[in-house]
Amino acid sequence: MIFEERQIEKNNFSSRALILFALMGLGFLAVLIQVFSLQVSSYSDYEIAALKNKNYVIPIQSLRGEIFDRNGRHIVRNEPTFDLITRPDSIKNIDSFLDQIEPVIYLSESEKFIYLKLFKDKAFANKELVLKKDLTEVEIARFNVRSHAFRNAFIDKRYRRITDYPEIFSHVLGYTSRSELPYKLLSNIPISHWKDGELIYANGFIEGKTGLEETYNSQLIGKPGERVYEVNARGRLVKSLEYRPPTNGSSLKTYLDIEAQMSAAIFLGNRRGAVVAIDLSSGGINVLYSSPSYSINKLSNGLSVDELQNLINDENKPFFNRALQGRYPPASTIKPAIAMFGLANKLVDWDFQIKDPGFFTLPEDGRVYRGWKKGGHGKVNLRKALLVSSNTYFFSLAYQADINELALHLSNLGFGKGVCKDCFDEDQVFVPTPEWKYKNVNTAWFKGDTVNLGVGQGYFVATPIQLANYASILANKGKGFELSLVMNSEEYYMPQIWQNNEYSELDWKRMHQALTDVIESDYGTARSIRDLKTFLVAGKSGTAELVGLDSKEAYKELRDTELLRDHSIIVVFGPMPNPKYAVSVVIENGESGGAVAGPVAIEVLKSLINDE
């Protein structure tokens, strides 16, 4: 019995021992597997993770590309500036340091506040800290003489985005400002590292916010570089391990012309309005100017709160880009387009004439639509109607038109759509139709609406760039381009987007002659500008009514309020008979189109022709 019990105990002990040894063996095997994983199969993964903990990667800002006009002259450049930079980890007493340097470099309270706020963190991490930006030549000289006393500070070069024409190109170029999301440029660098990036610009990581700076930001900005530092256990930078240089941005060559843009600014003066000029051979935009404007140098490199608030509150709205977003009735400038519609649809020909008594009576309800000249122009054919700007002739012609067909015709001339491929925030506006009116005004379309459209009034509005595009199509005899500010990288030529073949060469010859006579003949409505140049110019002026009135006497009372005065508008192209440029000018509340907007257009044309 005793023997059997001992045998059972022995067997149980052996079983437990086997289980124990098995567990020990499994544990040892698991350790071997883990060691193998750490040392062999996953070595590279853990090595990378260890390096990430040991290394600290920071971005290096790239230099933005510059912007040139069509003659290769700088419009926007990177101007070097110099900053005072310190090494906080080597400054033992910050108050003493500031007291010593203030007699050499003036520091504002704001500069000292920002510096003190960042000092401790930068010192702990062994990182540099800017004390003052954009030093003057005097400050640089003072510091260099005394630099031996400031071993923990040095002067280094930074850049600012600068133009020599800060106000005349403000709307077309746009401005740059600090980027909100710079880390999107290099996704492999942690977001937290971007605050320590090596900067090229005094304002930090910048990006285009409006204009060409925004439209072509991805091309201008380039690609940041990288610098890899070794860090110790406390997170302090120890030494630089690797440097990958940034790739600078690509520069832009534009169709813009500095001299012509300056002419637009000078002759438009301090009036509200816009000027657009187009190269007829390419569709390139030579001038895009809006007035009033603002300084992009100040907006990009430092504008006080008060200065910004003054711009925002300015009743003349300097931030508003009138060239691309201003909505104006085209007035009589649209009459050549209505004539083209009449010719294409056999509603009139060049010999068709009517008697112009100075008004048009709508057959449906007897409503009277008055012309601009009391008593009218007598017998008028199409050429004379364009020459003397007979409202009655174009009221009558528009009355015969189907509104949907007329709207399509105007759309083909670039109205109611975007006409520029790289303009920032262009307003497409609209061409009014019965559907549009019902949706937006909640009333039906009346025949009188079509009649008003025939003289560029009523619901019909257009932007200055659409008017310039329309003028370029007239000048090019029906050929249209997609407009652009920037030249193509491979060839400086924009593709033709459409060609209207509904008109014969004779029709175009007569149209060009009629529009030339508008300016050059003794009876043309824009004859006041014919002696301002030495070459022939074709065009059509207009006076856009803001308030419909029944008599000139009523308007005389109204014009005491400047903002209710008519707009002055003109479209021109020349030199004739082989035009090279088309120009549109709109002057808000300027009244007479030919006499007020005309001289501006002529001066811009002269600048473009002389600058070839």
Check if the beta carbon of residue 224 is closer than 8 Å to that of residue 198: no
Residue 197: pLDDT band (50, 70, 90) is: confident
DSSP string, 189-210: S-GGGGGGPBPSBTT-SEEE-S
CA distance 285 to 169: 13
User: Which positions ≥6 away from 89 have C-beta within 8 Å?
Assistant: 122, 123, 124, 126, 127, 236
| Final residue belonging to a domain, choices 235, 253, 271 | 253
Identify whether residues 249 and 293 lie together within a single domain. no
Identify whether residues 247 and 304 lie together within a single domain. no
- Tell me the pLDDT tens digit for each residue of 354-412: 999 999 999 989 999 999 898 999 999 999 999 999 999 999 999 999 999 999 999 99
- Tell me the pLDDT tens digit for each residue of 329-369: 999 999 999 999 999 999 999 999 999 999 999 998 999 99
**Chain centroid offset of residue 273 CA:** 17
Query: At 427, which CATH number?
Result: 3.40.710.10
Closest CA to 326 of 535, 468, 176, 539: 468
- Number of Cβ within a 10 Å radius of residue 264: 30
Identify whether residues 293 and 237 lie together within a single domain. no
| Final residue belonging to a domain, choices 213, 236, 253 | 253
Share of the chain above pLDDT 70, in %: 87
Identify whether residues 452 and 367 lie together within a single domain. yes
Identify whether residues 424 and 487 lie together within a single domain. yes
Share of the chain above pLDDT 90, in %: 63
Identify whether residues 216 and 282 lie together within a single domain. no
Identify whether residues 248 and 307 lie together within a single domain. no
Report helix angle 258-268 to 598-610, nearest 10. Answer: 160
Check if the beta carbon of residue 323 is closer than 8 Å to that of residue 174: no
In a domain, 115, yes or no: yes
Identify whether residues 265 and 245 lie together within a single domain. no
The C-alpha torsion from 544 through 458 and 540 to 257, rounded to 10°, is 70
Identify whether residues 387 and 242 lie together within a single domain. no
In a domain, 232, yes or no: yes
In a domain, 25, yes or no: no
In a domain, 408, yes or no: yes
Longest dimension (CA), the chain: 147
In a domain, 47, yes or no: no
In a domain, 48, yes or no: no
Identify whether residues 221 and 303 lie together within a single domain. no
- Tell me the pLDDT tens digit for each residue of 289-303: 999 999 999 898 877
Name the residue range of residue 574's domain.
Answer: 258-610
Number of structural domains (the chain) is 2
In a domain, 30, yes or no: no
Query: At 231, which CATH number?
Result: 3.90.1310.10
In a domain, 518, yes or no: yes
| Final residue belonging to a domain, choices 253, 274, 309 | 253
Identify whether residues 425 and 464 lie together within a single domain. yes
- Backbone φ and ψ of 464, nearest 5°: -55, -35
Identify whether residues 324 and 212 lie together within a single domain. no
CA distance 388 to 26: 106
Which of 64-98 are b and which e, b meaning 16 or more Cβ less than 10 Å from the residue's Cβ? bbbbbbbeeebbbbbeebbbbbbbbbebeeeeebb
> Which of helix, strand or coil describes residue 246?
coil
- Tell me the pLDDT tens digit for each residue of 443-496: 999 999 999 999 999 999 999 999 999 999 999 999 989 999 999 754 444 555
- Single pTM value for the model: 0.84
